[in-house]
Amino acid sequence: NFMNELSGFHELEQQIKGTLNLDHVIITPGNSDEHDWVKQELGKAAVDYLQSIIQSNQTIAVTGGTSMAVVAEMMSPASYAQNSMFVPARGGLGERVENQANTICAEMAKKANGEYRLLYVPDPLSEESYQSIIEEPSVKEILQIIRQADVVMHGIGDAVTMAKRRKASKDVLHKIETGKAVSEAFGYYFNNVGEVIHKVRTVGMQLEDLSKINCVIAVAGGKSKAKAIYSYFKQGKSNVLITDEAAANELIKGF
Ligand code: G3H
């Protein structure tokens, strides 16, 4: 669009779109690793994009993380869409409360004048609890809403950074390191060819559900995340990337 042409990233966006085989790419200036304002610009671009595609009465499923927290911080009401419903994409993944999908989704709804529904499930579940929790009527109802989301917005993290931040057990960390996981998204850990090395057992959207959703938007920037972004898109479940200049310049070099 016109603004992107002006900012001079049009060509870079086209290149990344081709390299990663995406429908749409947006690049904001700078390196998120270095300055907070860069991450805020990224968040603002994500809000603008969401507002440009969202229609009235649609459901938006969101993940946790610091990038998504900034998207929530920048959120404002959309002028053309009413009655938006925000839901967390998946249950707890071991994050601090400010980085949890539930918290982010409630803040987004408040700022967008929308509605929200939350998932009350404890962090990483045992197989036994998982099976009984998904049978709870209140959980079943919200899971239904999540799976029918119109738009999904999520972060992408570096695998080891994410496992440590979420205080993964020694065994899980070992699995992630020996499996050479590079990226993380939705509680799934991927290696450099996009294979799933580990998956956090929790309710909500599963990787395979993403293929049924038309608009899956990844929000991830910073030079340090380029490898992770590249790895995540190897299995290609998202079709839009909102990133920054520093990550984009690394991405076009390939890995
Ligand atoms: O869910 C977390 C994301 O995969 C990455 O988190 O935005 O804090 O880097 P982040």
- Best of 42, 67, 123 for a ligand 1 pocket test (most atoms within 8 Å of beta carbon): 67
Residue among 77, 81, 74 at smallest CA distance from 54: 81
Instruction: Find the length of the chain.
Output: 255
Task: State the pLDDT at residue 167.
Answer: 94
| Residue 122 banded pLDDT, cuts 50, 70, 90 | confident
Tokens of 46: 């994500």
Checking if the pLDDT of 2 tops 70, the result is no
Measured from the CA of 64, which atom of ligand 1 is nearest?
Answer: 1
- Nearest CA residue ID for atom 7, ligand 1: 67
Whether 23 has a pLDDT exceeding 90, the answer reads: yes
Residue with tokens 């998932």: 119
Bridge-based pairing state of the strands 183-185 and 157-158? antiparallel
Q: How far is the CA of 102 from the centre of ligand 1 (A)?
A: 14
pLDDT at 4 exceeding the cut of 60: no
Q: Calculate mean pLDDT across residues 43-56.
A: 97
**Ligand 1, CB cutoff 6 Å, lining residues:** 63-67, 155-157, 162, 184-185
Distance 104 CA to ligand 1 centre (A): 12
Structure confidence at residue 130 (pLDDT): 87
| Mean pLDDT on 80-95 | 93
Beta-bridged to residue 86, according to DSSP, are 60, 116
Residue 42 CA to residue 134 CA, distance in Å, equals 35
Give the position, in ligand 1's atom list, of the atom nearest the Cα of 69.
Answer: 7
Q: Above 0.95 for ipTM, yes or no?
A: yes
Provide the mean pLDDT of the chain: 94
Q: How confident is the model at residue 92 (pLDDT cuts 50, 70, 90)?
A: confident
pLDDT higher than 90, residue 45: yes
Q: pLDDT at position 6, please?
A: 55
